[in-house]
A and B are shown apart, each in its own frame.
Chain A
C-alpha cells in the first residue's frame, strides 16, 4: 500500500528570507516535478509554490526513504544547505497530509483566512501535474476531493464574507449607506494605490461618473483616462462636491483638503442626499468634523482598518465550521483509500460473483425442476467456474514488485465491477 506524504514550508514556519529561497517559479516547478517523479519509490508527485508556501505532495512506496530524499532534493534544487531550513519544514503523512491539503485549499491555513486566490493556485499546480503526468490515481482523487471540499466550505460557511482589505471595506460601507452603488458619482482626490483600488471596486459596482482632482492637472488627466473619467482642477473640488456622492481622498497635503464649512454649504445644495468621504491619507485630508454633519459620513484609514479587523475576527469564527467539514472529508477520503488494498478488493470481487451465481442457480433450479443430484453438480460447477475466472486477476493483483501502479488497477477493478459500497 503506498503512502501519501506532504512536505512543506509556509509563512507560519519560515520567514520570507527563507521562503523566497525555496520558492519555485513556474518553469522551475516543471523541471522539479519531472526530476521528483524519477526519484526511486516516488509514484506520484505534485508541487505547489506561492509566495507564502511551498508544498510537495508525493505518493511513495517507502515513506522514510522518500522523506529524506525529497528534503535533500529541495536543498539541492535551490542550492541552499538543508540545515538552513530543515527546522522550518513540516512533514505530514496519511490522514494528516490529506487534512493539510484540504485546509490549504479551503484557505483555512492562509495568512488572510478565507482569501479566494489559493484555490485557483492549487488548481494550476494540479493542471501542471496532470500535463506532465506526475499525478496518478491517488492524487487525482485527492485533488478532486480537495476542490469539492474547498468549494463546499466557501458556500456553506461565511469564511469568504465581508471585506478584509481597506479598499473593499470602503465599498462595503458605501453599500450600507447608499444601498445600490449603481449610478453614484465618485470623486478621487489625489492618487495612491489603495485609493485607486477603491475606485476600481466602485467602477465594478457600476458607479457612474468618475472625477479625478490632482494638484498637478496633467497627472489628474492621466489617471482619469485610466478610469474613463474626467479630470477637474483642484480648486473646483468644492463645486463638484455638489454632484459627487463618494469622495476618496489620498493626498500628501499637511492640512485638511476638505473642511467642515465647505461641506456644510454643499449639503444644503445637495438637498440632503447623503455624501460619503473615504479618507485614506495620513495626515488626514478630510476634517473629521464633517462626520458630525447630518447625511455626511467620514471614514478615515483607522476606521477602515477597524472594519477589516472586525471582519477578520468573523472569518476566524467561520473557520471553525470549515474545520468540521474538513474532518468529515478526511474520513471520507480514508474510506476510499482503504478500499485500494488488494485483499479486500479480491474478497469483494469474489463475494459479488458468488452472489450473482447463487441467484442465477436458484432461478434455474426452480424453473426447470432439476433433480437433486444434478442440482448439486450445477452448484459445484458454478463454484469452480468462479475460481477459474478469478484465478488470473488474483494472481495479477497479488504479484509483488509490480512495475505499474497497483492502486490504479485496484481502483479500475472496483469501478469495472462496481464494488463501491
Chain B
C-alpha cells in the first residue's frame, strides 16, 4: 500500500519536472514525457485505490488521507482526459504540480483506518462520493486555466510579451477549455448532490439536514450555477469568467477542507 503511494508520488514528481522543463525549454518531447509519466503515475495511483478497495471491501474515504488521495486521483484522471481532448500542452504545468502537492500532503497525513462500516458499501454513497470528487477535479482545472488566462490576458493587454506570451496558447483556447472544465465540474457536482440527497433520505429519512457541509456544497453549487447562467445569457467570458473560476475554487476548497476543521457536522467524521 505505502509503496504504491510512494511510486505514485515519484511519478508525479517526475512529470512535474518534465512539465517545468517544458515551460522553459519548449521542447515538445518534454511535454509528451510529462504526460506519459503522469499517466503512469495515475496507474500506480489507481492500483493503490484498487488494493485498498480489495483489502477493506469499500471505497477508501474514511479519513482525510484517503479522501485527499481520491481527490488527487480525480484531478490527475480528468487532466489526462482534458489534455487528450484539447491538446492544451501548457495545462500540465498547473495540473502535475497540483496532484504532486496533494499526494505529498496525503503521504504526510496519518492513515488511521476508519471503523469499517456498511455505510460505505451503499451504491448511492459511492456514486455520491465519486461524482463529487470528479466534479471538484473539474473545478480545480478550471481554476488553473483561469490563472493561465489572466496571465496571458495581462501579457497581451500590457504589451509585455516576453516569457508567457510565447508559451501560453490563445485566449480563446484557454477560455473554451476552462468553460468545458466548469461544465464537467458542474454536471458532476449536480449528480453528486442528487445522489447525496437520495442517500441521506435512505439513511436519515430526510433529503437535507442543514449540515455545514451540505450548506457549503449548496453555496458552491449556486456559485457555479450563477457563473454558467451569466455565461449563457449575458456572455460572461474571458477575464470575468476566469476570475470567477478562481474564486469558485476557493469556495470549493473551503467546502472541502475548511468546513471539516472549522465547523461540525455529519461529514466531519469521514474527513478529519
The answer on a CB contact under 8 Å between B171 and A274 is yes
Q: Which of A176, A179, A310 has most B Cβ within 10 Å?
A: A176
CA of A264 to CA of B236 in the docked complex: distance in angstroms? Answer: 15
Q: Is the CB of B235 within 8 A of A179?
A: no
Closest residue of A by beta carbon distance from B170: A179
A167 CB to closest chain B CB (Å) equals: 17
Interface range on chain B (Cβ under 8 Å from partner): 10 to 19
Identify which of A179, A180, A268, A310 gathers the most chain B CB atoms within 10 Å of its CB: A179
CB < 8 Å neighbour of A179 from B173, B234, B237: B173
Within 8 A of A (CB), among B218-238: 234-238
A287: which B residues are within 8 A, CB to CB? none
**Is A306 on the interface with B (CB-CB < 8 A)?**
yes
Contact B235 A294 (CB under 8 A): no
Find out whether the CB atom of A177 lies under 8 angstroms from the CB atom of B173.
no
Docked pose: A299 CA to B158 CA in angstroms: 10
- Contact across chains for A176 and B165 when beta carbons are under 8 A apart: yes
Interface residues of B in 159-176 (CB under 8 A from A): 159, 161-162, 165, 169-173
Q: A299-B159, A307-B161 are in contact. Are A274 and B235 (CB under 8 A)?
A: no
* Chain B residue at minimum C-beta to C-beta distance from A300: B159
A288 to chain B, nearest CB (A): 11
A268 to B230 alpha-carbon distance, docked (Å): 12
Who on chain A is nearest to B235 by CB?
A: A271
Partner of B172, one of A173, A177, A307: A177
**Number of contacting residues on A, CB 8 A?**
22
Please indicate the chain B residues that have their CB under 8 angstroms from the CB of A297 in the complex.
Answer: 156-157
Interface residues of A in 352-389 (CB under 8 A from B): none
In whole Å, how far is B131's beta carbon from the nearest beta carbon of chain A?
A: 31
Residues of chain B within 8 A of A25, CB atoms compared: none
| Residue of A295, A297, A306 contacting most chain B CB atoms (<10 Å) | A295
Interface residues of A in 283-300 (CB under 8 A from B): 291, 294-295, 297, 299
Evaluate contact between A175 and B240: CB separation under 8 angstroms.
Answer: no
Can you name the residue of chain A whose Cβ is closest to the Cβ of B173? A179
User: Within the complex, what minimum Cβ distance (angstroms) separates B110 from chain A?
Assistant: 46
Does B239 lie at the interface of the complex (its beta carbon under 8 Å from any beta carbon of A)?
A: yes
Among A179, A268, A291, A306, the residue within 8 A (CB) of B169 is A179
A86 CB within 8 Å of chain B: no
What is the 8 Å Cβ interface bit string for chain B, positions 33-74, against chain A (1 contact, 0 not)? 000000000000000000000000000000000000000000
> Could you give 23 example pairs across A and B, Cβ below 8 Å?
A176-B165, A176-B170, A176-B171, A177-B170, A177-B171, A177-B172, A178-B170, A178-B171, A178-B172, A179-B169, A180-B172, A271-B234, A271-B235, A272-B240, A274-B171, A274-B238, A294-B240, A297-B157, A299-B159, A306-B161, A307-B161, A310-B161, A310-B162
Given A175-B170, A176-B152, A271-B234, 10 additional A-B pairs, CB 8 A: A173-B156, A176-B165, A271-B237, A272-B237, A274-B171, A274-B238, A295-B237, A295-B238, A297-B157, A306-B159
- What are the 4 closest A-B residue pairs judged by CB atoms, nearest first? A271-B235, A179-B170, A179-B172, A272-B235
